[in-house]
Structure 1
Protein backbone atom coordinates (compact mmCIF):
# COMPACT_ATOMS: atom_id res chain seq x y z
CA UNK A 1 0.00 0.00 0.00
CA UNK A 2 1.30 3.43 -0.94
CA UNK A 3 1.94 5.69 2.02
CA UNK A 4 -0.35 8.34 0.48
CA UNK A 5 -3.22 5.83 0.29
CA UNK A 6 -2.62 4.78 3.89
CA UNK A 7 -2.71 8.42 4.99
CA UNK A 8 -6.03 8.97 3.19
CA UNK A 9 -7.54 5.90 4.89
CA UNK A 10 -6.26 7.03 8.28
CA UNK A 11 -7.76 10.50 7.93
CA UNK A 12 -11.07 9.05 6.77
CA UNK A 13 -11.24 6.84 9.87
CA UNK A 14 -10.38 9.78 12.12
CA UNK A 15 -13.14 11.90 10.55
CA UNK A 16 -15.62 9.23 11.65
CA UNK A 17 -14.34 9.47 15.21
CA UNK A 18 -14.45 12.25 17.76
CA UNK A 19 -11.60 14.29 16.32
CA UNK A 20 -12.21 17.98 15.66
CA UNK A 21 -11.86 19.32 12.09
CA UNK A 22 -8.88 21.37 13.32
CA UNK A 23 -7.10 18.23 14.55
CA UNK A 24 -7.84 16.37 11.31
CA UNK A 25 -6.46 19.30 9.31
CA UNK A 26 -3.26 19.34 11.37
CA UNK A 27 -2.80 15.57 11.08
CA UNK A 28 -3.33 15.70 7.33
CA UNK A 29 -0.81 18.50 6.88
CA UNK A 30 1.81 16.79 9.10
CA UNK A 31 1.44 13.45 7.35
CA UNK A 32 1.62 15.01 3.89
CA UNK A 33 4.83 16.80 4.87
CA UNK A 34 6.25 13.50 6.11
CA UNK A 35 5.33 11.70 2.87
CA UNK A 36 6.89 14.44 0.73
CA UNK A 37 10.09 14.44 2.78
CA UNK A 38 10.41 10.66 2.65
CA UNK A 39 9.74 10.66 -1.11
CA UNK A 40 12.58 13.16 -1.55
CA UNK A 41 14.91 11.06 0.59
CA UNK A 42 14.32 7.74 -1.20
CA UNK A 43 13.59 9.37 -4.61
CA UNK A 44 10.30 7.59 -5.28
CA UNK A 45 6.76 7.42 -3.96
CA UNK A 46 7.08 5.46 -0.70
CA UNK A 47 5.22 2.34 0.25
CA UNK A 48 3.95 2.18 3.81
CA UNK A 49 6.16 -0.87 4.40
CA UNK A 50 9.28 1.08 3.39
CA UNK A 51 9.11 3.49 6.30
CA UNK A 52 11.87 2.82 8.81
CA UNK A 53 12.86 4.24 12.15
CA UNK A 54 15.80 5.94 10.44
CA UNK A 55 13.54 7.80 8.00
CA UNK A 56 11.32 8.98 10.86
CA UNK A 57 14.33 10.22 12.84
CA UNK A 58 15.68 12.07 9.79
CA UNK A 59 12.32 13.75 9.28
CA UNK A 60 12.05 14.83 12.93
CA UNK A 61 15.66 16.05 12.89
CA UNK A 62 14.94 18.19 9.81
CA UNK A 63 11.84 19.64 11.48
CA UNK A 64 13.81 20.52 14.61
CA UNK A 65 15.99 22.89 12.56
CA UNK A 66 13.04 25.16 11.74
CA UNK A 67 10.27 24.44 14.25
CA UNK A 68 9.91 24.78 17.99
CA UNK A 69 10.24 21.72 20.20
CA UNK A 70 6.50 21.75 20.90
CA UNK A 71 5.73 21.68 17.14
CA UNK A 72 8.19 18.83 16.53
CA UNK A 73 6.53 16.86 19.32
CA UNK A 74 3.16 17.37 17.65
CA UNK A 75 4.57 15.91 14.41
CA UNK A 76 6.09 13.04 16.39
CA UNK A 77 2.82 12.25 18.15
CA UNK A 78 0.99 12.36 14.82
CA UNK A 79 3.40 9.81 13.31
CA UNK A 80 3.15 7.63 16.41
CA UNK A 81 -0.67 7.62 16.17
CA UNK A 82 -0.66 6.97 12.42
CA UNK A 83 1.73 4.01 12.48
CA UNK A 84 0.04 2.48 15.55
CA UNK A 85 -3.24 2.58 13.59
CA UNK A 86 -1.56 1.19 10.45
CA UNK A 87 -0.10 -1.68 12.47
CA UNK A 88 -3.53 -2.56 13.90
CA UNK A 89 -5.53 -1.99 10.70
CA UNK A 90 -3.21 -3.38 8.02
CA UNK A 91 -0.56 -5.35 9.87
CA UNK A 92 2.25 -3.03 8.75
CA UNK A 93 5.14 -3.17 11.20
CA UNK A 94 5.13 -0.07 13.38
CA UNK A 95 8.51 1.68 12.90
CA UNK A 96 7.90 3.96 15.91
CA UNK A 97 7.78 1.00 18.30
CA UNK A 98 10.80 1.03 20.58
CA UNK A 99 11.86 4.58 19.79
CA UNK A 100 12.93 6.38 22.96
CA UNK A 101 11.67 9.94 22.80
CA UNK A 102 13.04 12.85 24.73
CA UNK A 103 11.08 14.14 27.69
CA UNK A 104 8.08 16.19 26.54
CA UNK A 105 8.71 19.91 26.52
CA UNK A 106 6.61 21.91 28.95
CA UNK A 107 4.23 24.17 27.02
CA UNK A 108 4.98 27.86 26.80
CA UNK A 109 3.27 30.04 29.37
CA UNK A 110 -0.07 31.03 27.81
CA UNK A 111 -0.55 34.63 26.74
CA UNK A 112 -3.52 36.29 28.38
CA UNK A 113 -5.58 39.46 28.12
CA UNK A 114 -6.30 41.53 31.22
CA UNK A 115 -9.86 42.00 32.50
CA UNK A 116 -9.61 45.70 31.62
CA UNK A 117 -8.55 44.92 28.04
CA UNK A 118 -11.38 42.43 27.67
CA UNK A 119 -13.86 45.05 28.86
CA UNK A 120 -12.41 47.50 26.33
CA UNK A 121 -12.85 44.96 23.51
CA UNK A 122 -16.47 44.33 24.50
CA UNK A 123 -17.13 48.06 24.42
CA UNK A 124 -15.27 48.63 21.13
CA UNK A 125 -18.21 48.85 18.74
CA UNK A 126 -17.39 49.01 15.05
CA UNK A 127 -18.00 52.38 13.34
CA UNK A 128 -21.51 52.67 11.92
CA UNK A 129 -20.40 53.46 8.37
CA UNK A 130 -18.38 50.23 8.12
CA UNK A 131 -21.38 48.02 8.92
CA UNK A 132 -23.50 48.91 5.91
CA UNK A 133 -26.70 50.94 5.49
CA UNK A 134 -28.98 48.90 7.73
CA UNK A 135 -29.04 50.15 11.33
CA UNK A 136 -30.70 46.98 12.61
CA UNK A 137 -27.98 44.76 11.13
CA UNK A 138 -25.31 47.03 12.56
CA UNK A 139 -26.82 46.73 16.03
CA UNK A 140 -27.37 42.99 15.67
CA UNK A 141 -23.78 42.30 14.63
CA UNK A 142 -22.44 44.34 17.53
CA UNK A 143 -24.65 42.46 20.01
CA UNK A 144 -23.57 39.13 18.48
CA UNK A 145 -19.90 40.05 18.83
CA UNK A 146 -20.38 41.23 22.42
CA UNK A 147 -22.18 37.99 23.27
CA UNK A 148 -19.41 35.88 21.78
CA UNK A 149 -16.71 37.75 23.69
CA UNK A 150 -18.68 37.41 26.95
CA UNK A 151 -19.42 33.70 26.45
CA UNK A 152 -15.87 32.66 25.53
CA UNK A 153 -14.35 34.67 28.38
CA UNK A 154 -17.03 33.67 30.88
CA UNK A 155 -17.00 29.96 30.08
CA UNK A 156 -13.43 29.41 28.87
CA UNK A 157 -14.74 27.38 25.93
CA UNK A 158 -12.75 26.92 22.74
CA UNK A 159 -13.65 28.89 19.62
CA UNK A 160 -14.74 25.68 17.83
CA UNK A 161 -17.01 24.87 20.78
CA UNK A 162 -18.47 28.37 20.86
CA UNK A 163 -19.40 28.52 17.18
CA UNK A 164 -20.92 25.02 17.37
CA UNK A 165 -23.43 26.11 20.03
CA UNK A 166 -27.14 26.21 19.16
CA UNK A 167 -29.87 28.03 21.07
CA UNK A 168 -31.02 24.67 22.43
CA UNK A 169 -27.67 24.27 24.21
CA UNK A 170 -28.62 27.03 26.62
CA UNK A 171 -30.14 25.29 29.62
CA UNK A 172 -33.90 25.23 29.18
CA UNK A 173 -33.58 27.08 25.88
CA UNK A 174 -32.93 30.35 27.73
CA UNK A 175 -29.64 32.11 28.50
CA UNK A 176 -28.02 30.44 31.49
CA UNK A 177 -25.52 27.65 31.93
CA UNK A 178 -24.35 26.31 28.58
CA UNK A 179 -24.05 22.70 27.44
CA UNK A 180 -21.02 22.17 25.20
CA UNK A 181 -21.72 19.22 22.91
CA UNK A 182 -18.85 17.16 21.50
CA UNK A 183 -16.01 19.28 22.76
CA UNK A 184 -12.41 18.27 22.22
CA UNK A 185 -12.23 14.48 22.46
CA UNK A 186 -15.97 14.17 21.89
CA UNK A 187 -16.92 14.85 25.50
CA UNK A 188 -19.99 16.88 26.51
CA UNK A 189 -19.80 19.20 29.50
CA UNK A 190 -21.65 22.04 31.21
CA UNK A 191 -19.87 25.38 31.32
CA UNK A 192 -20.86 28.32 33.49
CA UNK A 193 -21.38 31.91 32.40
CA UNK A 194 -22.00 34.99 34.51
CA UNK A 195 -24.75 37.56 34.37
CA UNK A 196 -22.93 39.82 31.83
CA UNK A 197 -22.78 36.90 29.39
CA UNK A 198 -26.41 35.94 30.06
CA UNK A 199 -27.51 39.52 29.53
CA UNK A 200 -25.49 39.76 26.28
CA UNK A 201 -27.11 36.55 25.00
CA UNK A 202 -30.62 37.82 25.83
CA UNK A 203 -30.05 41.08 23.97
CA UNK A 204 -28.46 39.30 20.99
CA UNK A 205 -31.28 36.80 20.68
CA UNK A 206 -33.83 39.61 20.38
CA UNK A 207 -32.20 40.69 17.11
CA UNK A 208 -30.77 37.35 15.89
CA UNK A 209 -31.76 36.43 12.34
CA UNK A 210 -32.71 32.89 13.39
CA UNK A 211 -34.12 32.16 16.85
CA UNK A 212 -35.09 28.50 16.35
CA UNK A 213 -33.75 26.16 19.02
CA UNK A 214 -31.76 24.24 16.42
CA UNK A 215 -30.24 27.40 14.93
CA UNK A 216 -26.66 28.42 15.73
CA UNK A 217 -26.24 31.02 18.45
CA UNK A 218 -23.43 32.78 16.64
CA UNK A 219 -24.60 33.33 13.08
CA UNK A 220 -23.92 35.66 10.19
CA UNK A 221 -26.45 38.03 8.59
CA UNK A 222 -27.85 35.11 6.56
CA UNK A 223 -28.58 33.09 9.69
CA UNK A 224 -25.75 30.66 8.91
CA UNK A 225 -23.25 29.41 11.47
CA UNK A 226 -20.31 31.75 11.93
CA UNK A 227 -16.95 30.34 10.85
CA UNK A 228 -13.87 30.21 13.07
CA UNK A 229 -12.04 32.47 10.63
CA UNK A 230 -14.77 35.11 10.86
CA UNK A 231 -14.68 34.93 14.66
CA UNK A 232 -10.89 35.30 14.69
CA UNK A 233 -11.17 38.32 12.42
CA UNK A 234 -13.71 39.88 14.78
CA UNK A 235 -11.39 39.40 17.76
CA UNK A 236 -8.51 40.99 15.86
CA UNK A 237 -10.55 44.02 14.79
CA UNK A 238 -12.06 44.69 18.21
CA UNK A 239 -8.63 44.40 19.85
CA UNK A 240 -7.27 46.99 17.42
CA UNK A 241 -10.19 49.34 18.11
CA UNK A 242 -9.63 48.87 21.85
CA UNK A 243 -6.00 49.94 21.41
CA UNK A 244 -4.52 46.61 22.52
CA UNK A 245 -0.98 46.04 21.29
CA UNK A 246 -0.13 42.66 19.80
CA UNK A 247 -2.33 40.01 18.26
CA UNK A 248 -5.39 38.89 20.20
CA UNK A 249 -7.07 35.61 19.26
CA UNK A 250 -10.01 33.70 20.79
CA UNK A 251 -7.87 31.13 22.63
CA UNK A 252 -6.31 33.94 24.65
CA UNK A 253 -9.75 34.55 26.18
CA UNK A 254 -9.81 30.89 27.26
CA UNK A 255 -6.37 31.30 28.84
CA UNK A 256 -7.51 34.55 30.47
CA UNK A 257 -10.60 32.88 31.94
CA UNK A 258 -8.50 30.16 33.58
CA UNK A 259 -5.83 32.59 34.78
CA UNK A 260 -8.28 35.05 36.31
CA UNK A 261 -10.18 32.26 38.06
CA UNK A 262 -6.93 30.95 39.53
CA UNK A 263 -5.87 34.42 40.66
CA UNK A 264 -9.17 34.83 42.49
CA UNK A 265 -8.93 31.56 44.39
CA UNK A 266 -10.60 28.93 42.20
CA UNK A 267 -9.21 25.41 42.56
CA UNK A 268 -7.28 23.74 39.76
CA UNK A 269 -9.68 20.78 39.69
CA UNK A 270 -12.67 23.11 39.24
CA UNK A 271 -10.92 25.04 36.46
CA UNK A 272 -9.98 21.75 34.79
CA UNK A 273 -13.61 20.63 34.76
CA UNK A 274 -14.77 23.98 33.38
CA UNK A 275 -12.22 23.96 30.56
CA UNK A 276 -12.73 20.29 29.72
CA UNK A 277 -9.15 19.22 30.43
CA UNK A 278 -8.66 15.49 30.84
CA UNK A 279 -5.36 15.90 32.65
CA UNK A 280 -4.77 18.20 35.61
CA UNK A 281 -1.21 18.75 34.36
CA UNK A 282 -2.69 20.68 31.43
CA UNK A 283 -4.47 23.03 33.82
CA UNK A 284 -1.48 23.29 36.15
CA UNK A 285 0.46 25.35 33.62
CA UNK A 286 -1.72 28.31 34.55
CA UNK A 287 -0.04 28.32 37.97
CA UNK A 288 3.06 29.64 36.18
CA UNK A 289 1.31 32.57 34.53
CA UNK A 290 1.16 35.14 37.31
CA UNK A 291 3.77 34.35 39.93
CA UNK A 292 3.63 37.90 41.29
CA UNK A 293 -0.04 37.42 42.19
CA UNK A 294 0.68 34.10 43.85
CA UNK A 295 3.56 35.63 45.85
CA UNK A 296 1.27 38.41 47.06
CA UNK A 297 -1.36 35.88 48.14
CA UNK A 298 1.31 33.82 49.90
CA UNK A 299 2.60 36.88 51.73
CA UNK A 300 -0.92 37.78 52.87
CA UNK A 301 -1.96 34.29 53.93
CA UNK A 302 1.15 32.48 55.21
CA UNK A 303 1.98 33.23 58.87
CA UNK A 304 5.76 33.03 58.38
CA UNK A 305 6.03 34.66 54.97
Structure 2
Protein backbone atom coordinates (compact mmCIF):
# COMPACT_ATOMS: atom_id res chain seq x y z
CA UNK A 1 0.00 0.00 0.00
CA UNK A 2 1.26 3.48 -0.93
CA UNK A 3 1.82 5.83 2.00
CA UNK A 4 1.28 9.58 1.95
CA UNK A 5 1.52 12.43 4.38
CA UNK A 6 -1.90 13.93 5.05
CA UNK A 7 -1.08 17.22 3.28
CA UNK A 8 0.30 15.30 0.29
CA UNK A 9 -2.90 13.28 0.02
CA UNK A 10 -4.91 16.51 0.04
CA UNK A 11 -2.73 18.03 -2.70
CA UNK A 12 -3.13 14.85 -4.74
CA UNK A 13 -6.90 14.93 -4.26
CA UNK A 14 -7.15 18.61 -5.21
CA UNK A 15 -5.30 17.91 -8.48
CA UNK A 16 -7.78 15.09 -9.11
CA UNK A 17 -10.71 17.48 -8.60
CA UNK A 18 -9.17 20.13 -10.83
CA UNK A 19 -7.86 18.12 -13.75
CA UNK A 20 -9.99 14.96 -13.75
CA UNK A 21 -13.28 16.14 -12.26
CA UNK A 22 -12.93 19.62 -13.82
CA UNK A 23 -14.56 21.34 -10.84
CA UNK A 24 -14.75 25.10 -10.43
CA UNK A 25 -12.37 26.97 -8.11
CA UNK A 26 -15.22 27.65 -5.69
CA UNK A 27 -16.07 23.94 -5.42
CA UNK A 28 -12.41 22.98 -5.04
CA UNK A 29 -11.88 25.58 -2.31
CA UNK A 30 -14.90 24.23 -0.45
CA UNK A 31 -13.49 20.69 -0.53
CA UNK A 32 -10.05 21.94 0.48
CA UNK A 33 -11.43 23.88 3.45
CA UNK A 34 -13.48 20.94 4.78
CA UNK A 35 -10.70 18.37 4.45
CA UNK A 36 -8.04 20.71 5.82
CA UNK A 37 -10.22 21.20 8.90
CA UNK A 38 -10.25 17.41 9.37
CA UNK A 39 -6.49 17.12 8.83
CA UNK A 40 -5.74 19.86 11.36
CA UNK A 41 -7.87 18.07 13.94
CA UNK A 42 -6.30 14.65 13.56
CA UNK A 43 -2.75 16.02 13.46
CA UNK A 44 -3.33 17.15 17.04
CA UNK A 45 -3.76 13.44 17.77
CA UNK A 46 -0.25 12.71 16.44
CA UNK A 47 -1.45 11.38 13.10
CA UNK A 48 0.69 12.47 10.17
CA UNK A 49 0.24 9.75 7.56
CA UNK A 50 -2.83 8.57 5.62
CA UNK A 51 -2.08 4.97 6.59
CA UNK A 52 -2.64 5.91 10.25
CA UNK A 53 -6.28 6.86 9.69
CA UNK A 54 -8.66 4.68 11.68
CA UNK A 55 -12.33 4.29 12.49
CA UNK A 56 -11.60 5.42 16.02
CA UNK A 57 -10.03 8.75 15.02
CA UNK A 58 -12.77 9.48 12.50
CA UNK A 59 -15.47 8.78 15.10
CA UNK A 60 -13.64 11.17 17.39
CA UNK A 61 -13.69 13.85 14.70
CA UNK A 62 -17.41 13.34 14.00
CA UNK A 63 -18.11 13.74 17.71
CA UNK A 64 -16.10 16.97 17.65
CA UNK A 65 -18.12 18.20 14.64
CA UNK A 66 -21.36 17.59 16.53
CA UNK A 67 -20.08 19.71 19.41
CA UNK A 68 -19.35 22.65 17.07
CA UNK A 69 -23.07 23.34 16.54
CA UNK A 70 -22.71 23.80 12.80
CA UNK A 71 -25.83 24.41 10.74
CA UNK A 72 -27.42 21.30 9.26
CA UNK A 73 -26.50 22.44 5.76
CA UNK A 74 -22.82 22.83 6.72
CA UNK A 75 -22.68 19.37 8.32
CA UNK A 76 -24.18 17.79 5.19
CA UNK A 77 -21.61 19.55 3.00
CA UNK A 78 -18.74 18.40 5.22
CA UNK A 79 -19.96 14.79 5.23
CA UNK A 80 -20.17 14.89 1.45
CA UNK A 81 -16.60 16.26 1.26
CA UNK A 82 -15.27 13.49 3.52
CA UNK A 83 -17.14 10.74 1.65
CA UNK A 84 -15.66 11.82 -1.69
CA UNK A 85 -12.17 12.28 -0.25
CA UNK A 86 -12.13 8.87 1.46
CA UNK A 87 -13.55 7.18 -1.62
CA UNK A 88 -10.69 8.68 -3.64
CA UNK A 89 -8.14 7.39 -1.09
CA UNK A 90 -9.73 3.93 -1.07
CA UNK A 91 -9.87 3.70 -4.87
CA UNK A 92 -6.17 4.57 -5.06
CA UNK A 93 -5.22 2.05 -2.36
CA UNK A 94 -4.08 4.74 0.11
CA UNK A 95 -6.33 3.47 2.92
CA UNK A 96 -6.27 0.05 4.55
CA UNK A 97 -9.80 0.48 5.94
CA UNK A 98 -13.05 1.69 4.39
CA UNK A 99 -13.98 4.90 6.14
CA UNK A 100 -16.79 5.66 3.71
CA UNK A 101 -18.88 2.97 5.42
CA UNK A 102 -18.91 5.16 8.53
CA UNK A 103 -20.33 8.19 6.83
CA UNK A 104 -24.10 8.38 7.12
CA UNK A 105 -25.12 11.80 5.86
CA UNK A 106 -27.62 13.57 8.15
CA UNK A 107 -31.08 14.27 6.80
CA UNK A 108 -31.44 17.68 5.24
CA UNK A 109 -33.69 19.98 7.23
CA UNK A 110 -36.30 21.69 5.11
CA UNK A 111 -35.64 25.41 5.18
CA UNK A 112 -37.13 28.48 3.54
CA UNK A 113 -34.94 30.99 1.79
CA UNK A 114 -34.95 34.65 2.75
CA UNK A 115 -36.23 37.04 0.11
CA UNK A 116 -37.55 40.54 -0.39
CA UNK A 117 -41.10 41.30 -1.42
CA UNK A 118 -41.69 43.08 -4.72
CA UNK A 119 -42.38 46.36 -2.90
CA UNK A 120 -39.18 45.96 -0.86
CA UNK A 121 -37.14 45.36 -4.01
CA UNK A 122 -38.64 48.50 -5.54
CA UNK A 123 -37.84 50.51 -2.40
CA UNK A 124 -34.29 49.15 -2.28
CA UNK A 125 -33.47 49.85 -5.92
CA UNK A 126 -35.08 53.28 -6.11
CA UNK A 127 -33.40 54.45 -2.90
CA UNK A 128 -29.94 54.39 -4.49
CA UNK A 129 -28.60 57.88 -5.19
CA UNK A 130 -27.29 57.80 -8.76
CA UNK A 131 -25.85 61.33 -8.80
CA UNK A 132 -22.43 59.87 -7.86
CA UNK A 133 -20.30 57.36 -9.75
CA UNK A 134 -20.50 54.91 -6.84
CA UNK A 135 -24.27 55.28 -6.88
CA UNK A 136 -24.40 54.60 -10.62
CA UNK A 137 -22.32 51.44 -10.15
CA UNK A 138 -24.35 50.27 -7.17
CA UNK A 139 -27.69 50.84 -8.91
CA UNK A 140 -26.44 48.90 -11.93
CA UNK A 141 -25.17 46.10 -9.68
CA UNK A 142 -28.45 45.59 -7.78
CA UNK A 143 -30.47 45.95 -10.99
CA UNK A 144 -28.34 43.29 -12.72
CA UNK A 145 -28.55 40.82 -9.82
CA UNK A 146 -32.34 41.14 -9.62
CA UNK A 147 -32.91 41.22 -13.38
CA UNK A 148 -30.75 38.17 -14.15
CA UNK A 149 -31.22 36.05 -11.04
CA UNK A 150 -27.54 35.17 -11.36
CA UNK A 151 -25.55 33.61 -8.54
CA UNK A 152 -23.29 36.10 -6.77
CA UNK A 153 -20.25 34.12 -7.94
CA UNK A 154 -21.54 34.53 -11.50
CA UNK A 155 -21.99 38.28 -11.02
CA UNK A 156 -18.48 38.52 -9.59
CA UNK A 157 -17.18 36.72 -12.69
CA UNK A 158 -19.07 38.84 -15.25
CA UNK A 159 -16.79 40.43 -17.85
CA UNK A 160 -17.14 43.38 -20.19
CA UNK A 161 -16.97 41.23 -23.30
CA UNK A 162 -19.79 39.00 -21.99
CA UNK A 163 -22.27 41.91 -21.99
CA UNK A 164 -24.55 42.16 -25.02
CA UNK A 165 -26.71 45.26 -24.56
CA UNK A 166 -28.09 44.96 -28.08
CA UNK A 167 -29.80 41.69 -27.10
CA UNK A 168 -30.18 42.55 -23.39
CA UNK A 169 -28.03 39.57 -22.40
CA UNK A 170 -24.97 38.67 -20.35
CA UNK A 171 -23.10 35.39 -20.68
CA UNK A 172 -22.05 33.99 -17.30
CA UNK A 173 -19.75 31.17 -16.24
CA UNK A 174 -21.81 29.11 -13.83
CA UNK A 175 -21.79 25.96 -11.75
CA UNK A 176 -20.28 22.87 -13.32
CA UNK A 177 -17.97 25.10 -15.36
CA UNK A 178 -20.78 25.78 -17.83
CA UNK A 179 -21.67 28.97 -19.67
CA UNK A 180 -25.24 30.20 -19.79
CA UNK A 181 -27.05 33.36 -20.83
CA UNK A 182 -28.95 35.57 -18.39
CA UNK A 183 -31.30 38.39 -19.32
CA UNK A 184 -31.53 42.11 -18.60
CA UNK A 185 -34.82 43.97 -18.26
CA UNK A 186 -35.19 47.54 -19.53
CA UNK A 187 -34.36 49.16 -16.20
CA UNK A 188 -31.25 47.01 -15.73
CA UNK A 189 -30.09 47.84 -19.27
CA UNK A 190 -30.65 51.54 -18.71
CA UNK A 191 -28.64 51.69 -15.50
CA UNK A 192 -25.94 49.32 -16.75
CA UNK A 193 -25.37 51.66 -19.70
CA UNK A 194 -25.05 54.61 -17.33
CA UNK A 195 -22.49 52.71 -15.27
CA UNK A 196 -20.51 51.64 -18.35
CA UNK A 197 -20.28 55.29 -19.40
CA UNK A 198 -18.31 56.08 -16.22
CA UNK A 199 -16.69 52.68 -15.56
CA UNK A 200 -13.25 53.99 -16.58
CA UNK A 201 -13.37 56.32 -13.57
CA UNK A 202 -13.02 53.19 -11.40
CA UNK A 203 -10.16 51.71 -13.41
CA UNK A 204 -7.98 54.84 -13.32
CA UNK A 205 -5.06 54.61 -10.87
CA UNK A 206 -4.00 57.92 -9.32
CA UNK A 207 -0.67 56.33 -8.36
CA UNK A 208 0.40 55.24 -11.85
CA UNK A 209 -1.78 57.75 -13.75
CA UNK A 210 -2.85 54.82 -15.92
CA UNK A 211 -5.99 52.75 -16.41
CA UNK A 212 -5.99 49.26 -14.89
CA UNK A 213 -6.57 46.50 -17.41
CA UNK A 214 -9.25 44.56 -15.50
CA UNK A 215 -11.92 43.07 -17.74
CA UNK A 216 -14.37 42.51 -14.86
CA UNK A 217 -17.74 44.14 -15.38
CA UNK A 218 -18.06 45.52 -11.87
CA UNK A 219 -15.03 47.25 -10.33
CA UNK A 220 -14.35 48.49 -6.83
CA UNK A 221 -13.05 51.99 -6.11
CA UNK A 222 -9.46 50.75 -6.53
CA UNK A 223 -10.07 49.48 -10.05
CA UNK A 224 -10.09 45.81 -9.08
CA UNK A 225 -12.86 43.26 -9.48
CA UNK A 226 -15.77 43.86 -7.11
CA UNK A 227 -15.88 40.77 -4.88
CA UNK A 228 -18.82 38.97 -3.30
CA UNK A 229 -17.76 40.45 0.03
CA UNK A 230 -17.90 43.93 -1.49
CA UNK A 231 -21.38 43.24 -2.86
CA UNK A 232 -22.57 42.20 0.60
CA UNK A 233 -21.36 45.50 2.07
CA UNK A 234 -23.07 47.50 -0.66
CA UNK A 235 -26.37 45.68 -0.21
CA UNK A 236 -26.29 46.01 3.58
CA UNK A 237 -25.70 49.76 3.29
CA UNK A 238 -28.85 50.28 1.23
CA UNK A 239 -30.97 47.86 3.26
CA UNK A 240 -30.06 49.82 6.39
CA UNK A 241 -30.80 53.14 4.70
CA UNK A 242 -34.19 51.84 3.54
CA UNK A 243 -35.09 50.52 6.95
CA UNK A 244 -35.60 46.99 5.62
CA UNK A 245 -35.05 44.95 8.76
CA UNK A 246 -34.20 41.60 7.18
CA UNK A 247 -30.98 39.59 6.98
CA UNK A 248 -30.59 39.64 3.21
CA UNK A 249 -27.51 38.66 1.22
CA UNK A 250 -26.89 39.28 -2.50
CA UNK A 251 -27.79 35.62 -3.07
CA UNK A 252 -31.18 36.29 -1.48
CA UNK A 253 -31.85 38.76 -4.31
CA UNK A 254 -31.63 35.69 -6.57
CA UNK A 255 -34.21 33.98 -4.34
CA UNK A 256 -36.38 37.09 -4.65
CA UNK A 257 -36.05 36.93 -8.45
CA UNK A 258 -37.29 33.32 -8.54
CA UNK A 259 -40.06 33.87 -6.00
CA UNK A 260 -41.43 36.90 -7.85
CA UNK A 261 -41.41 35.05 -11.18
CA UNK A 262 -43.42 32.25 -9.60
CA UNK A 263 -45.85 34.72 -8.03
CA UNK A 264 -46.38 36.33 -11.44
CA UNK A 265 -47.23 32.99 -13.07
CA UNK A 266 -43.94 31.68 -14.51
CA UNK A 267 -43.66 27.89 -14.80
CA UNK A 268 -41.25 25.93 -12.63
CA UNK A 269 -39.39 24.61 -15.71
CA UNK A 270 -38.84 28.12 -17.03
CA UNK A 271 -37.56 29.27 -13.63
CA UNK A 272 -35.23 26.26 -13.53
CA UNK A 273 -33.70 27.34 -16.85
CA UNK A 274 -33.36 30.97 -15.79
CA UNK A 275 -31.65 30.00 -12.53
CA UNK A 276 -29.33 27.51 -14.22
CA UNK A 277 -30.41 24.63 -11.99
CA UNK A 278 -29.46 21.19 -13.29
CA UNK A 279 -32.04 19.44 -11.10
CA UNK A 280 -35.60 20.68 -10.91
CA UNK A 281 -35.85 19.53 -7.27
CA UNK A 282 -33.53 22.44 -6.42
CA UNK A 283 -35.99 24.85 -8.03
CA UNK A 284 -39.03 23.35 -6.32
CA UNK A 285 -38.12 25.01 -3.00
CA UNK A 286 -39.72 28.14 -4.49
CA UNK A 287 -43.07 26.38 -4.85
CA UNK A 288 -42.93 25.76 -1.08
CA UNK A 289 -42.18 29.44 -0.56
CA UNK A 290 -45.19 30.43 -2.60
CA UNK A 291 -47.45 27.92 -0.85
CA UNK A 292 -46.37 29.37 2.48
CA UNK A 293 -47.39 32.83 1.28
CA UNK A 294 -50.71 31.49 -0.04
CA UNK A 295 -51.47 29.95 3.36
CA UNK A 296 -50.54 33.23 5.07
CA UNK A 297 -52.81 35.19 2.71
CA UNK A 298 -55.62 32.70 3.30
CA UNK A 299 -55.35 33.08 7.08
CA UNK A 300 -55.24 36.85 6.70
CA UNK A 301 -58.07 37.43 4.22
CA UNK A 302 -60.55 34.54 4.34
CA UNK A 303 -63.62 35.80 6.25
CA UNK A 304 -63.96 32.62 8.32
CA UNK A 305 -60.24 31.88 8.82
CA UNK A 306 -60.13 34.05 11.95
CA UNK A 307 -63.22 32.51 13.55
Q: Normalized against structure 1, the TM-score is what?
A: 0.82
**Which residue of structure 2 aligns with residue 176 of structure 1?**
168
* 8 Å Cα contact 1:156-1:257 kept in structure 2: yes
Q: Give the superposed CA RMSD.
A: 2.9
One of 80, 84, 87 as aligned partner of 1:84: 87
Shift of 1:119: 1.9
Shift of 1:175: 6.5
Change (3 A) 1:125 1:293: closer
Cα deviations across residues 210-262 of structure 1 (Å, max 9, x unaligned)? Answer: 69998221112343211221111111111111111133210100111111111
* 8 Å Cα contact 1:145-1:234 kept in structure 2: yes
* 8 Å Cα contact 1:86-1:94 kept in structure 2: no
**Which residue of structure 2 aligns with residue 112 of structure 1?**
115
Q: Give SS of 1:188's match.
A: strand
Q: Give SS of 2:284's match.
A: helix
**Which residue of structure 2 aligns with residue 274 of structure 1?**
274
Shift of 1:123: 2.5
Q: Give SS of 1:288's match.
A: helix
* 8 Å Cα contact 1:152-1:253 kept in structure 2: yes
Cα deviations across residues 54-84 of structure 1 (Å, max 9, x unaligned)? Answer: 4333322331231222211111001112122
Equivalent runs, 1:162-241 vs 2, <5 Å: 162-171=155-164, 174=166, 176-181=168-173, 183-209=174-200, 215-241=215-241
- Shifted more, 44-53 versus 111-120: the winner is 44-53
One of 6, 10, 13 as aligned partner of 1:10: 13
Shift of 1:289: 1.2
**Which residue of structure 2 aligns with residue 62 of structure 1?**
64
Q: Give SS of 1:191's match.
A: strand
Change (3 A) 1:206 1:174: farther
Q: Which runs of 5+ in 2 are unaligned?
A: 204-210, 299-307
Shift of 1:103: 5.7
Q: Give SS of 1:291's match.
A: helix
Q: Normalized against structure 2, the TM-score is what?
A: 0.82
Partner Cα separation in structure 2 for residue 206 and residue 50 of structure 1: 60
Q: Give SS of 1:290's match.
A: helix
Q: Which runs of 5+ in 1 are unaligned?
A: 129-137, 299-305
**Which residue of structure 2 aligns with residue 135 of structure 1?**
none
Partner Cα separation in structure 2 for residue 67 and residue 151 of structure 1: 33
Q: Give SS of 1:273's match.
A: helix
* 8 Å Cα contact 2:76-2:105 kept in structure 1: no
